[in-house]
């Protein structure tokens, strides 16, 4: 008998969400993460409507709100030829967006999954998979100086965009993107901001994202050659290139001592499953962060994968049918978004073209919310 129904490798947005749903369905789950609980990670963290819908349904939004994460009810788009404010209407039970720090979001998901019965092993670095013939049957991991083996009916790779599990199982590529953005971001205090603000200017993008501790996450994105190494100078120059209004407000306040740089990574979509394994979140699907959508997609795919695993592991539906359905649904939503993010990441657009691209991205988000809202809540 395997030790668990499922072992999930990676315990952040995708992994903790998948574990939460599997545990609530009565399955035994072990989550292994090489990091420690509650640590930060390289990521800004604007959530879109699909993610807030999921967090609400799962009963996790109250911890996000309880951590004084500000509610976002306005979005402002800054284009080279004008500023477009948008009021967020209520729909599908969501009347505000949120951008919790990863030190708030990820532990909230872990706490919910743990209270549903999932076991967590942090500081546990998965280094290998066990197989019985072709099917994957377990993992080998290092915890301190010990090497441990645990077995399961399914191993889920939720281990991010450098997924070890994807490598170990040889998950094939379904699609790859051609362009990459690099980013610099940090946390400003006392910045005047009105909800999410997104700017698309002269070969540069910028964003203001209100978050916990009365701070605003400020980012700039561009081709990696423009991001360079002079963090504060680049943030000032690219914000000015993206939006004079945002640049003027940024000049009023002091820059933080610490900025983080992301050098860029091209988007991809990998096969989502094989015998005894499945991938979820960035491990299976990564798009340029200019879409600000990876977390929302990670939560969406956790829901789709958990549903597929429950009918496979609990109800006996064959893997190829249940996980094949997961892959088809994920690809239908993820592929168009990957392609649009890839076009935005060229940074070769004027105001008309970027409006069209953002309109297409918005349509993808509507499709995603429509699918999530239509799922049977039981
Ligand atoms: C610069 C930047 C900005 C972004 N901005 C946004 C944004 O505004 N909005 C948004 O929605 N998304 C954004 N994203 C994307 C978002 O960060 C990801 O989509 C999200 O983190 C995916 O979550 P995940 O759980 O799949 O992976 P991760 O958050 O990467 O978690 C993977 C986990 O797996 C663990 N792990 C890895 N290897 C192993 C191993 N061998 N053994 C055990 N554990 C392992 C890691 O420790 C980690 O905890 C941004 C990304 C970047 C880089």
In tens, the pLDDT along 299-313 reads 999 999 999 999 999
pLDDT score, position 230: 80
pLDDT digits (tens, 9 = 90+) for 220-272: 999 988 998 889 999 999 999 999 999 999 999 999 999 999 999 999 999 99
The DSSP result for 45-83, as a single string, is ----HHHHHHHHHHT-HHHHHHTTPPPB-EEEEEETTEE
CA atoms within a 13 Å half-sphere pointing along the CA-CB vector of 30: 21
Closest CA to 207 of 215, 218, 222: 218
CB atoms < 10 A from the CB of 113, how many? 28
How far is Cα 56 from Cα 93, in angstroms, rounded to an integer? Answer: 8
For helices 351-373 and 319-344, give the axis angle rounded to 10 degrees.
160
Query: Rounded to two decimals, what is the model's pTM?
Result: 0.98
- Confidence at 377, pLDDT banded by 50, 70, 90: confident
Q: Which two tokens stand for residue 134?
A: 């072709």
Comma-separated ranges of CATH 3.50.50.60 domains in the chain:
4-56+102-178+266-373
User: Closest residue (by CA) to atom 12 of ligand 1?
Assistant: 294
* Mean pLDDT calculated for residue range 187-208: 96
**Mutational test site, ligand 1, from 289, 299, 338, max ligand atoms within 8 Å of CB:** 289
pLDDT score, position 133: 95
pLDDT score, position 169: 98
pLDDT digits (tens, 9 = 90+) for 2-23: 999 999 999 999 999 999 999 9
Residue 181 CA to ligand 1 centre (angstroms): 16
By residue count, the chain amounts to: 378
- pLDDT higher than 80, residue 94: yes
Question: Across all residues in the chain, what is the average pLDDT?
Answer: 97
Q: How far is CA 162 from CA 156, 200, 301, in A?
A: 14, 29, 18
pLDDT score, position 228: 84
Ligand 1 atom at minimal distance to the Cα of residue 32: 43
Residue 26 CA to ligand 1 centre (angstroms): 27
Comma-separated ranges of CATH 3.30.9.100 domains in the chain:
182-262
How far is Cα 359 from Cα 353, in angstroms, rounded to an integer? Answer: 10
* Mean pLDDT calculated for residue range 314-343: 97
For helices 319-344 and 294-313, give the axis angle rounded to 10 degrees.
170
User: Closest residue (by CA) to atom 51 of ligand 1?
Assistant: 43
Handedness of CA 3, 9, 12, 14 (dihedral sign): negative
* Mean pLDDT calculated for residue range 24-32: 98
Ligand 1 atom at minimal distance to the Cα of residue 281: 26
SS3 content of the chain, % helix, strand, coil (to 5): 40, 25, 35
Cβ 343 under 6 angstroms from ligand 1 = no
pLDDT score, position 329: 97
User: Closest residue (by CA) to atom 50 of ligand 1?
Assistant: 43
pLDDT score, position 378: 75
Alpha helical stretches, state H, the chain: 13-24, 49-58, 61-66, 102-115, 164-169, 224-227, 231-242, 244-251, 294-313, 319-344, 351-373
Task: Spell out the CATH class of 182-262.
Answer: alpha beta
pLDDT digits (tens, 9 = 90+) for 134-175: 999 999 999 999 999 999 999 999 999 999 999 999 999 999
pLDDT digits (tens, 9 = 90+) for 102-135: 999 999 999 999 999 999 999 999 999 999 999 9
Q: Does domain 4-56+102-178+266-373 have CATH number 3.50.50.60?
A: yes
* Sheet arrangement for strand 82-87: 82-87, 74-79, 196-200, 205-210, 215-222, 182-189, 260-262
SS3 157: strand
User: Closest residue (by CA) to atom 39 of ligand 1?
Assistant: 159
Cβ 46 under 6 angstroms from ligand 1 = yes
How far is Cα 275 from Cα 346, in angstroms, rounded to an integer? Answer: 37
SS3 286: strand
Report whether 340 contacts 357 (CB < 8 A). Answer: yes
User: Closest residue (by CA) to atom 37 of ligand 1?
Assistant: 159
Angle at 42 between CA 99 and CA 253, to 5 degrees: 60
pLDDT score, position 234: 95
Closest CA to 17 of 46, 49, 57: 57
Handedness of CA 56, 73, 235, 365 (dihedral sign): positive
Cβ 289 under 6 angstroms from ligand 1 = yes
pLDDT digits (tens, 9 = 90+) for 128-145: 999 999 999 999 999 999
Residue 294 CA to ligand 1 centre (angstroms): 8
* Mean pLDDT calculated for residue range 211-225: 96
* Mean pLDDT calculated for residue range 345-353: 96
CB atoms < 10 A from the CB of 128, how many? 14
SS3 113: helix
Cβ 68 under 6 angstroms from ligand 1 = no
pLDDT score, position 291: 95
Ligand 1 atom at minimal distance to the Cα of residue 47: 11
pLDDT score, position 193: 96
SS3 1: coil
- pLDDT higher than 90, residue 49: yes
Cβ 197 under 6 angstroms from ligand 1 = no
């Amino acid at each position: 008998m395997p030790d668990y129904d499922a072992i999930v490798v990676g315990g952040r947005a995708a992994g903790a969400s998948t574990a939460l749903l599997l545990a609530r369905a009565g399955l035994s789950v072990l989550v292994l993460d090489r990091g420690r609980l509650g640590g930060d990670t390289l990521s800004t963290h604007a959530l879109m409507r699909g993610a807030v819908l999921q967090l609400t349904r799962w009963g996790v939004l109250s911890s996000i709100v309880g951590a004084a994460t500000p509610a976002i009810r306005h979005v402002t788009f800054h284009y080279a030829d004008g500023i477009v404010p948008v009021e967020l209407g209520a729909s599908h039970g969501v009347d505000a967006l949120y951008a919790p720090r990863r030190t708030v979001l990820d532990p909230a998901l872990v706490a919910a999954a743990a209270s549903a019965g999932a076991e967590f092993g942090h500081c546990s670095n998965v280094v290998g998979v066990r197989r019985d013939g072709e099917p994957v049957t377990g993992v080998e991991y290092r915890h301190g100086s010990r090497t441990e083996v645990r077995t399961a009916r399914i191993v889920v790779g939720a281990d991010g965009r450098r997924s070890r599990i994807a490598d170990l199982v040889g998950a094939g590529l379904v699609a790859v993107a051609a362009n990459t953005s690099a980013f610099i971001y940090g946390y400003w205090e006392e910045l005047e901001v009105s909800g999410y603000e997104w700017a698309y200017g002269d070969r540069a993008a910028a964003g203001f994202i209100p978050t916990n501790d009365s701070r605003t996450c400020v980012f700039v994105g561009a081709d990696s050659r423009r991001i360079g190494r002079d963090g504060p100078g680049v943030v000032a120059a690219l914000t000015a290139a993206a939006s004079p209004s945002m640049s003027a407000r940024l000049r009023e306040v002091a820059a933080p001592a610490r900025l983080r740089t992301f050098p860029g990574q091209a988007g991809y979509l990998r096969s989502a499953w094989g015998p005894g394994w499945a991938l979820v979140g960035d491990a299976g699907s990564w798009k340029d962060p200019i879409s600000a959508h990876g977390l929302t997609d990670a939560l969406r795919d956790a829901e789709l994968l958990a549903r597929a695993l429950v009918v496979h592991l609990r109800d006996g539906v064959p893997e190829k049918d249940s996980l094949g359905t997961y892959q088809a649904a994920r690809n239908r939503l993820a592929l168009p978004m990957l392609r649009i993010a890839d076009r935005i990441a060229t940074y070769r657009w004027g105001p008309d073209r970027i409006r069209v691209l953002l309109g297409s991205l918005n349509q993808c988000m509507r499709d995603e919310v429509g699918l999530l809202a239509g799922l049977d809540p039981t």
